[in-house]
Amino acid sequence: AGSGKFFVGGNWKCNGTKDSISKLVSDLNSATLESDVDVVVTPPFVYLDQVKNTLIERIEIAAQNCWTGKGGAFTGEISVEQLKDLGCKWVILGHSERRHILGENNEFIGKKAAYALSQNLGVIACIGELLEEREAGKTFDICFQQMKAFADAVPSWDDIVIAYEPVWAIGTGKVATPEQAQEVHVAVRDWLSKNVTAEVASKTRIIYGGSVNAGNCAELAKKEDIDGFLVGGASLKVLSCYSRGLCQ
Ligand code: PEP
């Protein structure tokens, strides 16, 4: 396991309205959260300010993306400085929807990670293979290439949480088994040990994402190298998934 608390992020993706988000925030404000779990929510950009102003401080805020450098003439982009100004602590980078729907590549994602970290914005660095890559026996190769792109770009691993999210498990209801997730988490930790340092390998949190819900989180959380979750769909409605699954 990495060091630090179990880490659970709710990725709200491109969902919500002012009203539905206000309801979700009020539910989160009164939810029972485990004291040894870092809880983070990731609202769409346009609701970040609303959420920051109404959510309890104990829950941190992440953005779903950011620009590669300082803001300026980049129409439609959101800068790291703006995210910090709104009180964000984290940004999700390399999410599979951005890689595979928006066409972001490893190099572009690496640049964003480097810039975010240089401005003290923590990075939730997503990696994961497609179904055909898993079936072709390339899971480790793909994950290691994605890891290398982050490693080549970032100045330090102090503020990075790695999210292993097999693409075939995201939004599909088809969760990886605890054994499948653990196998990749161990391999990624081993990669860090060989390619970064043993210290980074032992302290970096590696969280799992892909159809996590209140019914399967407790079993996944039991695995030694699963240090938390990135939860999509369920994070909008089932607040007991913001946990190790101990207080359902
Ligand atoms: C995600 O968006 O990171 C995710 C894991 O989604 P879901 O939980 O809906 O599979």
The atom of ligand 1 lying closest to the CA of 233 is: 9
Q: How far is the CA of 13 from the centre of ligand 1 (A)?
A: 9
Determine whether 95 is an active site residue. Answer: yes
Angle at which helices 178-195 and 139-153 pack, to 10 degrees? 40
Asked if the model's pLDDT at residue 168 lies above 70, the reply is yes
Whole-angstrom Cα distance, residue 159 to residue 117? 7
> So what's the pLDDT on residue 170?
96
Q: Is the CB of 110 under 6 A from ligand 1?
A: no
Q: Is the CB of 43 under 6 A from ligand 1?
A: no
Phi, psi of 99 (to 5 degrees): -65, -45
Q: How far is the CA of 95 from the centre of ligand 1 (A)?
A: 9
Give the model confidence (pLDDT) of 44-81 as tens digits.
999 999 999 999 999 999 999 999 999 999 999 999 99
Give the model confidence (pLDDT) of 111-129 as tens digits.
999 999 999 999 999 999 9
CB 246 within 8 A of CB 23: no
Q: Where are the domains of the chain?
A: 6-241
Average pLDDT of the residues of the chain: 96
> So what's the pLDDT on residue 248?
46
CB 96 within 8 A of CB 170: yes
Q: Is the CB of 170 under 6 A from ligand 1?
A: yes
Give the model confidence (pLDDT) of 4-35 as tens digits.
899 999 999 999 999 999 999 999 999 989 99
Determine whether 165 is an active site residue. Answer: yes
DSSP, res 94: S
Catalytic residue among 97, 104, 165, 185: 165
Query: Is the CATH number of domain 6-241 3.20.20.70?
Result: yes
The percent of residues above 90 in pLDDT, for the chain, comes to 92
CB 139 within 8 A of CB 100: no
- Residue 246 — very low, low, confident or very high, per pLDDT cuts 50/70/90? low
ipTM of the complex: 0.98
The percent of residues above 70 in pLDDT, for the chain, comes to 99
